[in-house]
């Protein structure tokens, strides 16, 4: 677990936004990962992706690290934000915009507004 923990800590320390997911941002391997990666991609967020399917120790390690049982998991500036349902809710309420703004994360506000319009 120490090795996985150090890999996870390094990822969330060196990247402003990190998504631990099944698959990659270009090719998600589950619907929940696809939804969160799709939102981030659509909003133009520069984020690192970590494919937990490529390393079982990281797959279990991220669950232990965050004390959160499911994947995907989004981290912003080293802080755990949530999984698919939480990110979806935050996107639709505008809370994700606020989180990005407060942390200096660049994103496309018009794209975020379009997501809300399409789901309103």
Q: Which structural domains are found in the chain, ordered by start?
A: 2-119 (3.40.30.10)
Residue 117 has pLDDT above 90, yes or no: yes
**Alpha-carbon distances, residue 45 vs 4, 21, 60, 65, 75 (angstroms):** 25, 16, 26, 24, 13
Query: Across the beta sheet with 17-21, what order do the strands follow?
Result: 48-51, 17-21, 73-76, 79-82
Residue 2 has pLDDT above 50, yes or no: yes
The whole-number pLDDT of residue 112 equals 97
* pLDDT classification of 1: cutoffs 50, 70, 90: very low
Residue 5 has pLDDT above 80, yes or no: yes
The whole-number pLDDT of residue 48 equals 98
Residue 49 has pLDDT above 60, yes or no: yes
What is the four-CA torsion angle of 44, 75, 26, 43, rounded to 10 degrees? -20
Residue 74: helix, strand or coil by DSSP?
strand
State pLDDT tens for residues 24-41.
999 999 999 999 999 999
């Amino acid at each position: 677990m120490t090795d996985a923990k150090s890999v996870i800590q390094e990822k969330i320390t060196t990247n402003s936004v990190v998504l631990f997911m099944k698959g990659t941002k270009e090719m998600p391997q589950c619907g929940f990962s696809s939804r969160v990666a799709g939102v981030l991609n659509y909003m133009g967020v520069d984020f690192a992706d970590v494919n937990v399917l490529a390393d079982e120790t990281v797959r279990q390690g991220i669950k232990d690290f965050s004390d959160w049982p499911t994947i995907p998991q989004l981290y912003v500036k080293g802080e755990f934000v949530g999984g698919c349902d939480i990110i979806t809710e935050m996107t639709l309420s505008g809370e994700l915009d606020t989180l990005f703004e407060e942390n200096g994360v660049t994103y496309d506000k018009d794209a975020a507004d379009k997501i809300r319009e399409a789901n309103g």
